[in-house]
Amino acid sequence: MSDRTSPASSAFPESFTWGTASSSHQVEGDNTRSDWWDWETQGKIRSGHTSGKALGWWGGRAEEDLSLARSFHQNAHRLSLEWSRLEPQPGVFDDAAFTRYREILGHMRDIGLRPFVTLNHFTLPQWVARRGSWLDPDLPEMFARYCAEVARRLGDLVDSWMTINEPTVLVLMSYLGDKWPPASSSLVPGAKAFLHLMQAHALGSQALRSVRPDIPVGLVHNFPLFEAHRGGNPFDRAVTWVREFAWNEAILDTLSSGRVGFPFSITGREIPGLRESIDFFGVNYYGRYEVKFDPSSRLVMGRHVQTPTTALDEESDWGQADPRGLEEALIRAHQQLEVPVFVTENGIYDADDSQRPGFLVDHLHAVKRAMDRGADVRGYFHWSLVDNFEWAEGWHTPFGLIHVDRRTGERTPKQSAHLYADICRTGALPDLPVAKRDDVSTPGAAREQTSQPA
């Protein structure tokens, strides 16, 4: 086994995919037919923020930003399609919306960016929300219909599909919690939503393959590292095990077995086609969480302990920067699922770009170590290309390699953008020292939080 604190032993292969990621609602603007637009206009976002015009991608700036990504030597971009634009009413598809996405995807093809397309990145059409969102038992079938239509109309421009982004995050934030719509805040809706998400993924995968069997299909999971705050405390270890099992092991077991089991189903429920539903697996990774037993905690499985290295803000906790977690997640996902793996998101909230360069290099070394240890990792997508609307945090938490002036719309590449461009161009990592944990800034006061990735 390689030394986990040392730099990677060699350069990345020439075939490696280098990119950044975005999602439709966070960059497009005027997404007025989605459940999130309703949520924002009800004043649910920090400081009363709304996505508004966002970054203007729908109005024409997508091509500008994607061209900038290509000029920085990226060869792929992960983006999502907005279901509420494409199917604004049940069974009614918008030709103009498909035309606009063809423009964006066609531009990517023309400039040499391979499109990795996510079919659902958290948001839902308003008509779906009125039916109960992911609590509606008919939604998996409707999602499959949407997937098939997208494959028919856009499949010739797509490199890879991802059905659903971060199902467990959506369950936590929207159904077990109250930070995102529909804010059910209950265990039973959470379990039901997870079941329907897995059914939708399986049916969506089948629908995509039925139309375009040549395009690989994947699922994206947020894969944090959980560790006991007090390693010698049996209660801390117990709640950490429960947290790890419910968050990471459950979805790996669900995909590998084809059955939704505990804690989302007591008896276990088989989902037809689920075992064969993925050709690759997307790992989103932001950090490590120390878990402490606390019977008074509003979190069912203990609470997170913030340290000076926790990336924390008003509504969200992205964890502590720790490349070990990414390395282990990639190895574990590849070994358990036996499919190629991509890092589909990895980044840090860093307003002044002082920590991002070190974070980027450290985590890419972790990716290379995972590859050296046998993980079949095919690519890396940094979150995110540009500073964007960050869900419950609004515009407060910049993750982008490119700064965006909210008043003028001017784009300014950060130091980390130039660093990443050199890595993408050469396929090699600079020999920088691993960032010290106590160097990471703390953007908020220590307190108990739920995690919210991008």
pLDDT tens for 324-336 read: 999 999 999 999 9
Determine how β-strand 310-312 pairs with β-strand 317-320. Answer: antiparallel
pLDDT > 90? residue 32: yes
DSSP letter for each residue of 145-189: HHHHHHHHHHGGG-SEEEEEE-HHHHIIIIIISSSSTT---SHHH
- For tokens 């396929």, the residue is 427
> Does residue 307 carry a pLDDT above 90?
no
Tell me if 237 is assigned to some domain: yes
Report if residue 410 sits inside a domain: yes
**pLDDT for the residue 447:** 31
In the chain, what's the furthest Cα-to-Cα distance?
60
**Is the pLDDT score of 445 beyond 70?**
no
pLDDT (tens digit, 9 = 90+) per residue, 347-376?
Answer: 999 999 999 999 999 999 999 999 999 999
In this model, does residue 20 exceed pLDDT 70?
yes
Q: How many residues in total does the chain contain?
A: 454
- The predicted pLDDT at position 449 comes to 38
Confidence of residue 438 (pLDDT cuts 50, 70, 90): very low
Average pLDDT over residues 65-76: 98
CA distance 192 to 264: 7
Helix axes 95-111, 62-71, angle to 10 degrees: 20
pLDDT at residue number 47: 95
Mean pLDDT across 76-103: 98
Q: Say which residue the tokens 């170590």 belong to.
A: 369
pLDDT band for position 434 (50/70/90)?
Answer: very low
- Give the residue with greater pLDDT, 452 vs 90: 90
Does pTM top 0.85 for this prediction? yes
Which ranges in 354-447 belong to alpha helices (H)?
A: 356-372, 415-426
Least confident residue range of 220-234, 253-267, 310-324: 310-324
Q: Give the pLDDT band (50/70/90) at residue 318.
A: confident
Selection from 346, 341, 212, 211 nearest residue 278 by Cα:
341
Residue 345, in any domain of the structure: yes
Given a cut of 90, whether residue 385 has pLDDT beyond it is yes
Contact criterion met (CB below 8 Å) for 316 and 452: yes
340/345 Cα distance (integer angstroms):
16
Q: Count of domains in the chain?
A: 1
Q: Is residue 6 part of a domain?
A: no
| CATH number for 362 | 3.20.20.80
Which among 435, 326, 429 is positioned nearest to 370, based on CA atoms? 326
For residue 437, pLDDT over 60 is answered with no
pLDDT at 296: 73
At 300, the pLDDT band (50, 70, 90 cuts) reads: low
Q: What is the mean pLDDT of residues 439-446?
A: 31
Q: Residue range 407-429: average pLDDT?
A: 97
Query: What confidence tens digit (pLDDT) does each residue in 123-178 have?
Result: 999 999 999 999 999 999 999 999 999 999 999 999 999 999 999 999 999 999 99
Residue where the block lists tokens 């505990």:
262
Range of the domain at 369: 17-439
**Range with the poorest average pLDDT among 174-188, 277-291, 303-317:** 303-317
Closest CA to 355 of 287, 422, 439: 439
Assign 316 a pLDDT band (cuts: 50, 70, 90): low
With cut-offs at 50, 70 and 90, classify the pLDDT of residue 295. Answer: confident
- CA pair distance 55, 25, nearest whole angstrom: 10
pLDDT (0 to 100) of residue 261: 82
**Cβ neighbours of 393 (radius 10 Å):** 23
Residue 217 lies in a domain: yes
Residue 30: both structure tokens together: 């005027």
User: 302 pLDDT exceeds 60?
Assistant: yes
Cβ atoms of 288 and 363 within 8 Å: the answer is no
User: Is residue 426, in this structure, part of any structural domain at all?
Assistant: yes
Of residues 7 and 3, the one with the higher pLDDT is: 7
Q: Give the chain's mean pLDDT.
A: 90
Question: What is the rounded average pLDDT of the residues 279-283?
Answer: 98
Is residue 451 one of the residues assigned to a domain? no
Most confident among 233-237, 315-319, 385-389 (mean pLDDT): 385-389
On whether residue 254 sits in a domain, the answer given is yes
Here the tokens at position 225 are 């590292």
- Which element (helix H / strand E) includes 412? strand 411-413
